[in-house]
Structure 1
Amino acid sequence: MKLSENAKLLLKKRYLMPGESFEGLFRRVAKSASRNDKELEKEFYKIMTNLEFLPNSPCLMNAGTKIGQLLACFVLPIEDSLVSIYDTLKNAAIIYQSGGGVGFDFSKIRPRGDLVKTTNGVASGPVSFIKLYNESTEVVKQGGRRRGANMAVLRVDHPDIMEFINSKKEEGRLPHFNISVGITSKFMDALKKDSKYDLINPRTRRVVKKVQAEKVFDNIIENMHSNGEPGIIFLDRLGKGIAATNPCGEVPLEPYEACVLGSINLSKVIVGEKINYEKLGELVRLGVKFLNNILDINKYPLPKIRKKCLKNRKVGLGVMGFADMLIKIKVRYDSASALRIADEVMGFIKSTAKKYSENNKTLLSIAPTGSISIIADCSSSIDPVFSESFNRSINEGDVLSKKYENSDYLVTLKDVKSEQQVKMQAVFQKHVDNAVSKTISFNNDASKSDVKKVVLLGYELGIKGLTVYRDKSREKQVICEVCKNG
């Protein structure tokens, strides 16, 4: 098998068992996922070693080991009591230890200053408990390989919403949490009408204040522009009983639900500058089968999660290498043709995946593919190529380098308008029953007005959520362009 130097370094750092070879890792995963079906084992091994399909990181790390927890995404409920808050924290720690990331909706926690009858004291509010969860994450290393990742969601009608929006204003605060504001249709209606909306105490269900929607929205936009936090989730588009997503936002989940992810490398389905739909269809078939088998063999961290997962059978098959695919078929990312091809490809994946569904409540999801796209040596997810030449930092302090050959069809991130990026997200979302994790990128000189316009465009186009990032708006940036003169 052909692995890049970046892939080898990352696999050695995070994935290989002691004494394990690269081929040994994929044999271990294929054997485990095949459930003693020798033919399937061969097929799974082939598509992984050809870098045509890869499952989420916990699967690569833990398949065939004593840990046996292979799912990436979880959501746990938090009720408004100290017992619930600490029970959930304990359950989250168990999930971190086995390699998963967790999303939480903190909206049921009473606001700061509210009455606590049992002590005649006052409540400290949801943001204080997010800080507690962040500290706990710091001390529990994920599967012994990396620290846990979290998503905190707070409804826009919670009385502490302004404190939440500003909770990551200072760089370095809550480092183990992504935060997203849960936007409601009522809020968006008030925003359109330039009117006020209700802030509601979740304990009493009473309106405590009316605030101008524009004021809250502008505060969200200001923080997005400043450093990319918070993100936004459009709650009414997530589905009944869903109030939170996994840490990167691509899987909306009910309380105690989990999901397994895998991605097809689209750059591997090109033959003679054309998309080989027969090959893509076969990868979809195998991908759906692989993810379903993982659900069945997984060692679940909690009985409640096992019960819900095997009932709902949520999987998230997605893609990576989309930008590389476009270069190979000589289509520019910033063109109308790219949007049309995205529509065709994801529509085909959707219709094919449905044929092989095993009573799956959801089948498709577009994950960021940060680590597995490095292993596959392809562009991440549905994103444009970052730059002709760039460096990427990984947690352990190592820097991975990547260089693209110059081409008329290579369109780098800084040259793709943010409007085109959100249109691309919306095209994929049209065919995806889970969600699309996408960071809409802006050049450093973008204004708050630019950010606001794109967020509103995303809402109009029907996306389920988004984050934005303005280049160099944080001191520490994971991925950086290499200067052409240096």
Structure 2
Amino acid sequence: MTDSVVDSILAARYLRKGEKTFEDICRRVSSALGKDDAEREEFFEAMRSLSFLPNSPTLMNAGTEIGQLSACFTLPVGDSIPEIFHALEWGALIHKSGGGTGYNFSQLRPEGAPVQSTDGVASGPISFMKVFNAATDVIKQGGRRRGANMGILNVWHPDIMRFIHAKKVEGDLSNFNISVMVNDRFMEFVESGQFNKVWITHPYSGEEITVGEIWNGIIDGIWKNGEPGVLFYDEINRKNPAPHLGPIETTNPCVTADTWVMTTEGPRQVADLIGRRFDAVVCGTPASSGPEGFFQTGTRAVLRLCTREGYHLSLTPDHPVCRVASLTRSRTETEWVRAGDLSPGDRLLLHDHRACAAWDGALTEEQGYLLGMLVGDGTLKKDAAVLSVWSANAGAGSVMAHAETCARTLDHRADFSGWFPVDGRDESRLKLSAVRDLAEAMGMAPGAKGITPAIEQASSAGYRGFLAGLFDADGSVQGTPAKGVSVRLSQSDRSLLLAAQRMLLRMGVRSTIYRRRAAGHRRLPDGKGGLKTYAVKSQYDLAVSGENLLTFRERVGFRDEEKAARLDALLAKYSRNLKRERYVATVASVAADGTEAVYDVQVPGVNAFDANGFVAHNCGEQPLLPFESCVLGSINLAKFVKDGAVDEAGLKKMTRMAVRFLDAVIDENVFPIPQIGEATRKTRKIGLGLMGVHDALLMLGMPYDSDEGRGVCEEVMALVNETAIEESHVLAGEKGTFPAFEGSVWGDSEMRNAALTTIAPTGTISLLAGCSSGVEPVFSYAYTRKNTVGKTFMILHPIFEAELRRVVGGMGLPPEEEEAKVKEAIEHVHETGTIRDVAWLPASFRHLFRTALDIDWRDHVRMQAVFQKHVHASISKTINMPNAATREEIAEAVMMAWKSGIKGMTIYRTGSREDVVLALKEKKPAAEKEVKVVTQRPKELAGKTYLGQSGCCRLYITVNLMDGKPWEVFIRTVGSGGCEANSNALGRSISTGLQNGVPYQKFVKQFAKVNCIAALKNPEAEGLSCADVVGKCIDLAASRQTIATLDNWTITEVGGAGTKKKNLCPECGAELDFGEGCNQGTCKNCGWSGCN
């Protein structure tokens, strides 16, 4: 690599203000990451010597205000407009900070699925991928790198064929590499030849898609332009180091069918939510479920989770619930823990529904009050329901008055007279058949009154009335401010109190159930002024205390004036605020509870739901853990070849340093959004890999495609991987394990990092290091570069040149002929890209210096498989194939990769992105048409005014016509958004062009290419930008002529028939290379890469 090329790359991408050399960059980075002078010097020397380099964002941003040091991120894309555009916003922030993004779009409902909120239908994942692609166009990555995306769709998604064909036309989704996530089951069908088997029936179109259609679509796409790539779902999950955070083997966390779930429709049991979408309420906030709602996952052993406060839930042992890790006065820190891992004393988070909106349902407040009194102190008979009030104090009188008012809202006889006293008893009764009818409608029966499922599903108004009636009948206000005030509900029926407790929590009131006395016999008042011995049941109290008293008073309250007054008086005596409610319950027991049918749900985005009041996790089936990022770094293996062998001691020392370096990057990283920081620190994954592998093999004299070469590569990668694991173990002893260590695959071996090794793309940093990229073979040993003033010069691979001169020098030729032979070989490899057909060169030399295109595709796969054995993550590598490769060979390569244990693959057939023939017939230049410039505007012009919506404002767009064609345009913004001055300037510019002969179609066509992030984020926008909206209106005004109709406009055609379209770098115009799993290309001239 020449100094001028490196200098141009540094200046364009890495140098910050005040920096002049690569050493300045190394000093900045090492100073930011090293913990002391010795470590800083070690980091500096590793980079300065080009023995190790971190990913580009670290070189760019370490020690700067930006501080974002990660290269790659995975972001979840949920199935709702807010979640989709949150992901879009997060991706924009990541690209701005210098990172790349990976999205799995499989959670999005397929095209044609109903959208309940709009009564419309979904447009499917591909339409939203186009939005993401357009957004990436307008963001320059880190101000220095173009944003790059990976788009994934699972092979079992109904829109899989649309996804496979999404890049059929070159240029579509140009900011995406796309890959299909296939599972073992699909591959097994392919392997056994079951191509006619129906794999998917589209749920809305009814289209049946066979295994063969999908497989052939994948293979045909790869053959045509290298996409889609293929990812192997089961292999990825089998090697997942933290299976408890993601589905290495899907554990299907589940709950039972009788579990209560809070929804915007009101409380519902799981059995009522099977097979249909619903909006869950999570801590008072709505969140939409997946389209299938709850779904059965099998019949499994369940646990009974009980808390000291009374809350309980039946669930499978692997179902995560939200445990409180730390509770301070100002914050609550939580973590997800499997139910089977809970212990007595653990604190669990409950839902805080104080912000929950009212919900509809059965029962008015008046009806609810009467039923609450009936359940508390009443009798349900066959002919009527009887409500009872004891004593004749003021409180009882207020209750009687309120109950009678409520009763008169029901159907009643004309002679209904309300309450009547019972002779000889301190009791008054209200008897009404309408209350009986209401109770029976809510699931009660004589001898079986209580809180039924129908009552728990009642409206929020019904809740308020029911709970008030229940507390008026059986509730009391107890205590003092000194000892603590509480509102208590006394009952012998504990199941009734458990239901009341759930109902109160949905109103925002947390409570505790105490056992007040055991069952036995006691002397009690007989109602006639005396005492009598009665058999008594166990007695329980439900207690409301602390800040919950205020919520209870506001949302439920007493209608009993004495109780209400007592509560007010006691609360008024508090000299300081009541104890703050934290919505936490303490585990009392977790015990086996038999076997039941169990169910799960997806709630994209929040990934949680209300299960009997607990914050429970939903189904986590997503192949990539959301919000994870990875910091990457690569060791230059060529630097560790000495005296014809690999310097293992030096390599181990560098590996230990690199692990500490990358671990420090995590601590110093400034993440674009908090969720990424949390997820990254939870697993502390790093990605240490290699570059310069082919250079090292050349120095060792081992062909890339030889068994000997693969053997060395396997030994080297195993050494790096094992050393990295050892150093992470040492680091864990010094600094602690990664927070999600418990439940990981590391068992008792404490680790600082969940994963350590990968083979990442090294396009630009390998140019800085002057070595071959990653584990790829050399693409060409001679190629042309341009300098900053546009002059071209040849770059020769130094090892190739030195060995060529040695071999030719050993032929005993005269100096002039020797130099001519060297020049001949160099010119040949420069023109053809290979020396395999230079017969006068020794066969051993030609074999050693095979290029990526000379090497058989099977050897590419074998080499990737060798590295995959000793790499925790995936490998960025391209399987290069000749242009003559058939579809059958591509299919064979994918099958071979799957059987070899590779996690994913990219195939590039040479020329598949370059064989688009323009085939334009040369035309004689058309005579230029004289353009008549209109200098004077008539007093009156006819036109049309349109109201259009852009991303940030509404636009009034007036287009006036001259001779039936647009002649002038006026643009006015409406509302708080937009820029009036820019709109005015745009209108004047268009008008000037129109009046000077520029066809309006040119404006329409150009404006259609202008993208604005505000428009992309606004679903109501009628174009991609303000300019696009204006262009559409101009087109409409001109009698709806299409932009393809370019009347009297000469198009100068570039190139003649048969000209080949090449893939050129968008920054410098040099031809692109394809490798390291990137089908967007990498530029060897300036360092640009489409897959950074």
Using structure 1 for the length normalisation, give the TM-score.
Answer: 0.92
Match of 1:366?
759
Structure 1 unaligned regions, length at least 5:
244-251
Tell me the SS of whatever aligns to 1:102: strand
Change (3 A) 1:93 1:215: same
Aligned to 2:1073: 479
Change beyond 3 A, Cα 1:398–1:265: farther
Q: Equivalences for 1:198-277 in 2 at 5 Å? A: 198-199=199-200, 210-239=208-237, 240=243, 241=246, 253-277=624-648
Q: Structure 1 residues 391 and 155 mapped into 2: Cα distance closer, same or farther (>3 Å)?
A: farther
Structure 2 counterparts to residues 338-417 of structure 1, below 5 A: 338-357=709-728, 358=731, 359-391=752-784, 402-404=795-797, 405-406=800-801, 407=803, 408=845, 409-417=848-856
CA deviation string 1:419-459 (max 9, x = no partner): 00010000000000111111100111111111111111111
Distance 1:300 1:101 in 2: 13
Corresponding residue for 1:109? Answer: 108
Cα separation, 1, equivalents of 2:793 and 2:875: 26
Secondary structure of the residue that 2:77 maps to in structure 1?
coil
Query: Which consecutive residues of structure 2, in runs of 5 or more, have no partner in the other structure?
Result: 238-242, 249-622, 732-751, 804-844, 915-1062, 1064-1070, 1075-1082, 1085-1092
| Number of residue equivalences | 468
Structure 2 Cα separation of the partners of residues 5 and 380 of structure 1? 20
Verify: 1:139 aligned to 2:733, yes or no: no
Q: Following the alignment from structure 1 to structure 2, what is the Cα–Cα distance between the partners of residues 41 and 393?
A: 36
Counterpart Cα distance in 2 of 1:174 and 1:398: 33
Post-superposition offset of 1:209: 5.5
Aligned in 2, Cα 1:77/1:341: closer, same or farther, shift over 3 Å? same
For residue 521 of structure 2, what is the aligned residue in structure 1? Answer: none
Give the Å deviation of 1:91: 1.0
1:238 counterpart SS class: helix
Question: For residues 399 and 177 of structure 1, what CA distance do their matches in structure 2 show?
Answer: 31
- The 1:113–1:235 alpha-carbon spacing in structure 2 relative to 1, beyond 3 Å, is same
Taking the TM superposition and a 5 Å limit, the aligned residue runs for 1:160-175 are: 160-175=159-174
The separation in 1 between residues aligned to 2:86 and 2:855, in whole angstroms, is 45
Correspondence for 1:468:
907
Q: Is the 8 A contact 2:199 2:211 kept in 1?
A: no
Closer, same or farther: CA 455–308 of 1 in aligned 2, 3 Å: same
User: Which has the larger helix fraction?
Assistant: 1
Contact 1:287–1:317 (CA<8 Å) still a contact in 2? Answer: yes
Matched residue of 2:106: which SS?
coil
Asked whether 1:28 is paired with 2:28, we answer yes
Cα distance in structure 2, aligned partners of 1:67 and 1:8: 23
Distance 2:673 2:869 in 1: 33
* CA 400–83 in structure 1, closer or farther in 2 if over 3 Å, else same: farther
Establish whether residue 284 from structure 1 lines up as the match of residue 655 from structure 2: yes
Q: Is the 8 A contact 1:80 1:109 kept in 2?
A: yes
Largest Rg, 1 or 2: 2
Letter in 2 for 1:389: A
Please give the alpha-carbon distance, in whole angstroms, between the structure 1 residues aligned to 2:34 and 2:773: 27
Please, which of 861, 870, 887 is the counterpart of residue 431 of structure 1?
870
Look up the match of 1:246: none
- For each residue in 1:259-315, what CA deviation from the matched residue of structure 2 results, as whole angstroms up to 9, or x when unmatched? 100000000001111100011001101110100000011111111111111110000
Q: Which amino acid aligns with 1:310?
A: R
Q: 1:278–1:371: structure 2 CA closer, same or farther, 3 Å change rule? A: same
Tell me the equivalent position of 2:185.
186
Question: Aligned residue for 1:249?
Answer: none
AA in 2 matched with 1:453:
E
1:42 corresponding residue in structure 2: 41
| 1:120, distance to aligned residue in structure 2 (A) | 1.1
Could you tell me which residue of structure 2 aligns to residue 94 of structure 1?
Answer: 93
Counterpart-to-counterpart distance in 1, 2:793 and 2:74: 32
Q: Secondary structure at the match of 1:309?
A: helix
CA distance in 2, matches of 1:398, 1:122: 56
SS in 2 for 1:414: coil
**What RMSD in Å do the two structures reach over aligned CA positions?**
2.4
Q: CA deviation at 1:5?
A: 3.1
Q: CA deviation at 1:253?
A: 4.2
The 1:400–1:190 alpha-carbon spacing in structure 2 relative to 1, beyond 3 Å, is farther
SS of residue in 1 equivalent to 2:891: helix
* Helix, strand or coil at the partner of 1:362: coil
Letter in 1 for 2:200: L
Query: CA distance change for structure 1 residues 401 and 349 in 2, over 3 Å: closer, same or farther?
Result: farther
Q: 1:242 to 1:51 in 2, by over 3 A?
A: farther
Q: In structure 2, how many angstroms separate the alpha carbons of the residues matched to 1:60 and 1:180?
A: 29
Q: 1-side partners of 2:198 and 2:37: how far apart?
A: 59
SS in 2 for 1:79: coil
Shift in CA distance, 473/110, structure 1 to aligned 2, threshold 3 Å: same
Aligned partners of 2:793 and 2:663: how far apart in 1?
33
Contact in 1 for aligned 2:201/2:207 (Cα 8 Å) = yes
Does the Cα contact within 8 Å between 2:124 and 2:159 map onto a contact in 1?
yes
Q: Among the aligned pairs, what percent are the same residue?
A: 43
After superposition, what is the alpha-carbon deviation per residue over 1:85-107, rounded to whole angstroms, capped at 9, x for unaligned?
A: 01111111111111111100000
Distance 1:332 1:109, change over 3 A: same
> Cα deviations across residues 133-161 of structure 1 (Å, max 9, x unaligned)?
01111111111112211000001111111
Higher RCO structure, 1 or 2 (CA under 8 Å, sep 6+): 1
SS of aligned partner of 1:365: coil
Q: Does 1:449 align with 2:842?
A: no
User: What is the alpha-carbon distance in structure 2 between the residues aligned to residue 465 and residue 174 of structure 1?
Assistant: 20
CA contact (8 A) 1:194 1:212 kept: no
Aligned match of 2:676: 305
- Compared CA separation, residues 242 and 232, structure 1 to 2 (3 A): farther
Between the aligned partners of 2:138 and 2:667, the Cα distance in structure 1 is: 30
Match in the other structure for 2:691: 320
Partner of residue 954, structure 2:
none
- Any idea what the Cα deviations from partners look like across 1:5-42, whole Å, max 9, x if unmatched? 3222211111111331221111101111213x111111
Q: For the Cα contact (< 8 Å) 2:58–2:69, is it kept in 1? A: yes
Question: Residues 13 and 140 of structure 1: is their aligned pair in 2 closer, same or farther, counting only changes over 3 Å?
Answer: same
Instruction: Provide the rounded CA distance (Å) in 2 between the counterparts of 1:373 and 1:107.
Output: 34
Paired with 2:91 and 2:891, the residues of 1 have a C-alpha distance of 34
Residue pair 2:112, 2:205 contacting (<8 A) in 1 also = no
Distance in 2 (alpha carbons) for counterparts of 1:278 and 1:5: 34
Q: Which moved more, 1:340-349 or 1:212-221?
A: 212-221
Whole-Å separation in 1 of the counterparts to 2:705 and 2:784? 23
Shift of 1:66: 0.3
